[in-house]
Amino acid sequence: MLINNHMNNISLQKIQLMDASQLRRYRRIIDKLLSQKTPVLKGELLSLVEQFLARKASFLALARKHTTPFYILDKPALEMGLKAFTAAFDQHLPGCEYYYAMKVNHHPYIIKRAVAHGFGIDISSGRELMIALRCGAKKLVFSGPGKTLAELELAVSHSDKVIINLDSFQELARLNQVASKKRRSVRAGVRIFTRYHNVWNKFGIDLTELPEFWRKSQEYPSISLQGIQFHMSWNENARPYALVIKELAGCLVQKFTKAELATIKFIDFGGGFRPYLSEGYYPWGTLAGSLIKTVDDHLGQMSHFKDKYYITAAVPIDRYAYGIGQAIKKYLQPLVNCVYYTEPGRIIANGAMHVMLQVVDVKSPQKIIADGGINIVGWERFLHDYFPLINLTNPDRREVSSCIYGSLCMPDDLWGYTCFAKKIKLGDYILVPNQGGLTFSLAQNFIKPIPPVYFLNK
């Protein structure tokens, strides 16, 4: 009887989602979006493909030795990424300290090599803390919202190595309780967000609350609040960092005393550096393109755009370092005498890992099935993100239109819409390059198991 009463309140209806005036407004907005020109970076990633083809023999040797699919951990690329990053910031921001963001790729070899290059490790959970310690990390920053009591207890137990970046006033109080109980003194920072953070305002406290937070921390004798952290991801250039640095400096000038400024020991400007000329996105990744594709999907028809894909805009790491260094010299160094931290992730790991597949079915020249599915990368990234697929068995400098699907029983199991190939045959080896960032860490045993990792030494 109870179920029937509930069912009586449910009915299928056709409704308008908004009133007529709102609909007219959105029609005008959509018309404007569709008619205006969209700024994009056009081109192709042939030079990147040629770099991989120059090492074709090494990749094929791995493929013939091991059963596909598998990850390739590219040792030379990892070393190059670590050295390029440190060289850029050593030049433009001397004394900067580096903390590899292991959430991006937690493979022990990558963590160990980062530590060997003098990096600390940026962690976001108790699990990551234990992995980092097992990999030999000597210094860690623990960031992220919602740290559990058990995680705080673990971090306090390793307070000689861990700085805890606090996310809220309540977390400040909880950490003091844990530290007091363990009779330990804990170094801490506080994460902030500003008007520039948009969706990243989930993390930390509002910049306007920073002075209150700093003074509140003085009530907790077990906590030594020493630093300020901010982070925004996927930054096209150094400008977002510079804007926040300027905003933070304004707060410090207006709201902090000279004595309080003297207690700031570090400022952590996070990570978020985009890999340069590494990947792209499809036209429906633009706002106008997404509207067109939504309509086409609703009508059950294919979308046809002028371009196959666009290049993801970024600058070389040297330009990030220069812009950040200049902003710090202009706005922060006149105010505070501290060390600066950064937390690179994708910029280090992206090129350090690739995926090797093999063609197991050719249904037509335009419909190819590979033996690995997107459980290898953990999400349907290739519906939106473009990476050049390279047929190592029959390579070519030109791309052919051919949908390369994975082997999962899912329609969204797609690797890409084109491939650098003369032709694609049964048994061909397909390389998916630059899959080291937020892929291996997200992989899952879904239908097919997570594949093994093999090392490329040259």
Q: Quote the number of domains for the chain.
A: 3
Tens digits of per-residue pLDDT, 285-315?
A: 999 999 999 999 999 999 999 999 999 999 9
d(CA 168, CA 284): 37
Residue 20: is its pLDDT beyond 90?
A: no
Phi, then psi, of 105 in degrees rounded to 5: -160, 115
Residue 323 and residue 436 in one domain: no
Residue 353: is its pLDDT beyond 80?
A: yes
- Summary mean pLDDT of the chain: 96
- For residues 370 and 430, the answer to whether their CB atoms sit within 8 Å is yes
Residue 334 and residue 251 in one domain: yes
Residue 223 and residue 115 in one domain: yes
The residues facing 165 across adjacent strands are 189
Tokens encoding 101 = 């963001």
Does residue 8 lie in a domain region? no
Sheet strands (E) in 75-200: 97-101, 120-123, 140-142, 162-166, 186-193
Residue 90 and residue 152 in one domain: yes
Q: Which residues contact 183 (CB under 8 A, 6 or more apart)?
A: none
Tens digits of per-residue pLDDT, 75-89?
A: 999 999 999 999 999
Residue 182 and residue 63 in one domain: no
pTM: 0.95
Block residue for tokens 């190595």: 161
Does residue 39 lie in a domain region? no
d(CA 323, CA 313): 16
CB atoms within 10 A of CB 49: 20
CATH number of the domain residue 204 falls in: 3.20.20.10
Tokens encoding 123 = 């962690």
Instruction: Concatenate the DSSP letters of all residues of 278-336 into one string.
Output: S-EE-GGGSHHHHHHHHHHHHHT-----S-S-EEPP---HHHHHHHHHHHIIIIITTT-
d(CA 275, CA 258): 39
- For residues 400 and 63, the answer to whether their CB atoms sit within 8 Å is no
Residue 262 and residue 340 in one domain: yes
Domain assignment of residue 293, given as a range: 280-309
pLDDT of residue 226: 98
d(CA 376, CA 356): 10
Residue 365 and residue 418 in one domain: yes
pLDDT of residue 331: 98
Residue 61 and residue 177 in one domain: no
CATH number of the domain residue 411 falls in: 2.40.37.10
Range 240-247 average pLDDT = 98
d(CA 70, CA 303): 33
Q: Give the pLDDT band (50/70/90) at residue 61.
A: very high
Residue 341 and residue 439 in one domain: no
